Homo-oligomer: A and B are copies of this chain.
Amino acid sequence: MSSWGNLLRISIFGESHGLGIGVVIDGLPAGRRIDFEAVSVQMTRRAPGQGSAVTPRREPDVPKVLSGLKDNVTTGAPLCCVIENTNVRSGDYSDISNTPRPSHADYAARERFGEACDMRGGGHFSGRLTAPLTFAGTVCRQILADYGVHIGGHLYSVGGVADTPFDPVNLSPALLDSLSLRNFAVINPSAETAMREHIEAARQSGDSAGGIIEAAAVNVKPGLGSPMFLGVENALASLLFGIPGVKGVEFGTGFGICGMRGSAANDAFIVDENNHITTATNHSGGIQGGISNGMPIIVRVAFKPTPSIALPQNTVSLDTQQETTVQIRGRHDPCIAVRAVPVVEAALAMGLLELYLRG
């Protein structure tokens, strides 16, 4: 299903090549002013058309709010936002209904929905659906700001090129805020240069690159989340795996913790200079037993290389059940991770707001 949450209920709709895409957000607290300039910043970060590292398609992605706001203030009623599809070239996708693109949803979706499935441009599985997700998450993030929460992310690595990782103990809200304004979000400027080169090299050879996004939320109150299946990790993972291209999610030191001994991996409790209880290290990524402990919440998300590449690829003709090749035309990001940073931030905000609303 394309809906998520309980106190906060998010319902996303739309296809790449339909009239429009959008989202209904039910359960927003009333009386919160939405800053549409800040929304626009995030929509632009996610939108294509910002350089050769991303697709040359230009979509204005102007969110039109039909309900739930009065004078830009939430009324408590469901907020519906629609984004028109204005730049659709259906012809580019004529092949795919019969020859599923490798590592796209084409084949699996057809098994799921049959021939009625509309997979032009990826249909409802298109990365374009991250636009309403970004909108919804940005609204949530503004409400979380009232609780003091700051959220931001960066490209932890692209190909083999690594950015400076977050300091999981001393992670400043200011760093997250500044990253969250950047279209190519890295901490170390030289990493940007090297990552862009890596992506451009992939693009020029008709290929694509993967990447890892690291994101964080700071000033999250301790005691957020519930045991077992509604922990912070469960909630965030159930959202993050909804972003197209995600193949892995880890918190804190993540898979890296498996090679450590407990004496090194355990986060000792200390009393900090402000007499607050905190931890000396943060291998837990701010979450213990599924519940937040007040330390920065740290998550890393693995994005596969864009499956849409210009090189010809082997596939099967569904009509004839014979092997054949498919060549994907159209315009595609060589590295979806670049534009996915605001989407990951949005998912974090949605997940955390649901948990905050649970009190």
Contact = CB atoms under 8 A, between A and B. Distances in A.
Interface of A: 1-4, 6-7, 9, 11-15, 18-22, 24, 26-27, 30-31, 64-68, 70, 73-80, 82, 100, 102-105, 107-109, 111-118, 123-125, 129, 157-160, 202, 206-212, 221-231, 233-235, 237-239, 241-242, 244, 246-255, 257-263, 265-271, 275, 277, 279-280, 283-285, 287-294, 300, 302-309, 311, 313-316, 318, 321-323, 337, 357-359
Contacts of A284: 103, 247
A109 B289 contact: yes
Given A31-B116, A229-B242, A290 B210 contact: no
Nearest to A316: B269
Given A294-B111, A302-B254, A315 B268 contact: yes
Contact of A159 (B7, B21, B259): B259
Contacts of A210: 257-260, 262, 265
Contacts of A113: 30-31, 75-77, 223
B234 A242 contact: yes
A323 B80 CA distance: 37
23 contacts: A3-B78, A15-B75, A67-B124, A76-B117, A80-B82, A82-B82, A107-B269, A107-B288, A108-B222, A108-B293, A112-B224, A157-B258, A208-B262, A210-B259, A212-B258, A235-B238, A237-B241, A241-B290, A253-B304, A257-B305, A269-B315, A271-B316, A357-B359
- Tell me the number of copies of this protein: 4
A210 to B, nearest CB: 4
B260 A74 contact: no
Contacts of A235: 238
A271 B102 contact: no
A7 B358 contact: yes
Contact of A14 (B66, B157, B254, B318): B66
Contacts of A253: 247, 304
A54 to B, nearest CB: 15
Contact of A1 (B9, B13, B359): B9
A291 B241 CA distance: 12
Contacts of A293: 107-108, 111
B292 A78 contact: no
A200 B7 CA distance: 44
Given A241-B233, A289-B109, A315-B268, A67 B15 contact: yes
Interface centre among A15, A239, A269 (most CB of B within 10 A): A269
Given A321-B277, A323-B270, A66 B78 contact: no
